Structures are given as C-alpha cells and as structure tokens.
Amino acid sequence: MSEEVAFEPKIVYFMCSWCGTGGAETAAAHHMHYPENITPSRVNCTGALPAVHILRPLIEGADGVVISGCHPGDCHYDDGNFRARRRVALVKSLLDTLGLEAERVWFRYVAHGEGRRFVDTAAEFNDHIKKLGPNPLKTRSDT
C-alpha cells in the first residue's frame, strides 16, 4: 500500500440468511480472516431490506454499506434478489444524483459455499473505502 490512510472504516454488511451468511460461515469454517471493522447484519432476504436501512447507516456513522445475497436464480424466496437489485439501483441513483458517493454502496452476490468470495468482498470493500476516505456525512451534526 503506497498510501497510508489513517482511518478504520466502519462498514455495515447486510447479508441474507441463506447465501449471504452462508458465505460468511463457509469462510469461518475454512479459518479465513476478514477485516474486523465490518459489522455484519443479517436480513432474511436482501429483497426484504428496506431502502431506508441502507441510508440510515450512511448518515449516522458508516463509511460504506455492502449488500450480499444469493445469485440470480438461487434466491430462497425466488425473486427477492431481483427486487433487491432494483431497490439498490434506486438508492444508488438517489445518492449519485445528490453527489453522495454512490460507490459507498456495493451490491454483490455471494453464494453459500463462496467463502473466498465473501472474504475478498469484505477486504476489497474495506480497501476501497479506505481510498475514498471517511464518509463526510458522518461527522455532520446537522443531518
């Protein structure tokens, strides 16, 4: 790393009960490590994650939010992940229009057995956020 970024990002990682947490559990089973500043948050299905729950952490102190669920076709509830994709698209559109760095929100499919992919996502996002720097919203008291 050429640039020393002095801050530890606060990251909220939404994962669905099925593939999302499955990926995390597989990683654990293989003793893979992921950064400690990730706060996992379990939802039954990414399709059940309200848009507001992506916005709240970004305003109140998170530097980034990841949403991970099953791959297309694998959703336990058939189409929750497709609906989630639309909802994330909407939130990213709003953030982008308002210049609030939509890239602080990632939507990536992680399957039950993809421990490596889960760990990579956490590490990659962590580095990505370190490069972006702290979220300017989180220190504003007038939000």
Partner 1 sequence: MNDKGAVLTAEDGVKDALIGWLKETLKNGVFDAILIPVETPGGDSFAYLLLQDPAILDSASPLPPVMPVQGGKALGRLTMRGRLNRQIAAVVRPCEARAAIELCKLEQANLENVCLITIDCPGVLPLSEYLDDPETSAVRHAGASSAWDRSPMRPTCQICDHFSIRQAPGSDLHIGTLGCEEGTAIMVAGSAKGERVLERTNPPTLEKEEESYSLNGLLEEWAAQVEEMERAQTKTRQRAHADLREAISGTDRLLDLFKDCINCHNCQRVCPVCYCRQCYFESDALKLPPENYLARANRKGALRFSPDTLLFHIGRASHMATSCVSCGACEDACPMDIPIAQVFSLLADRAQETLGYVAGMSLEDPLPLVTFEMDELHDVEQPYVKIYAKQEVQDA
Which stretches of the chain bind partner 1, using CB under 8 A?
Answer: 32, 51-52, 55-56, 59-61, 72, 79, 82-83, 85-100, 106-109, 116-117, 119-121, 123-124, 136-143
Question: Nearer Cβ to partner 1, position 45 or 100?
Answer: 100
Element (H, E) at 134: none
CB of 92 to partner 1, least distance (A): 6
Nearer to partner 1, 42 or 78 (CB): 78
User: C-beta of 42: minimal distance to partner 1 in Å?
Assistant: 18
Per-position b or e across 59-78, b if 16+ CB within 10 A of its CB = eeebbbbbbbbbeeeebeee
- Per-residue tokens: 95: 């953030």
Q: Which two tokens stand for residue 65?
A: 């939010």
From CA 16, how far away is CA 13, in angstroms rounded? 10
Strands 105-109 vs 11-16: parallel, antiparallel or unpaired: unpaired
- CB-wise, 21 or 91, nearer to partner 1? 91
Nearer to partner 1, 25 or 116 (CB): 116
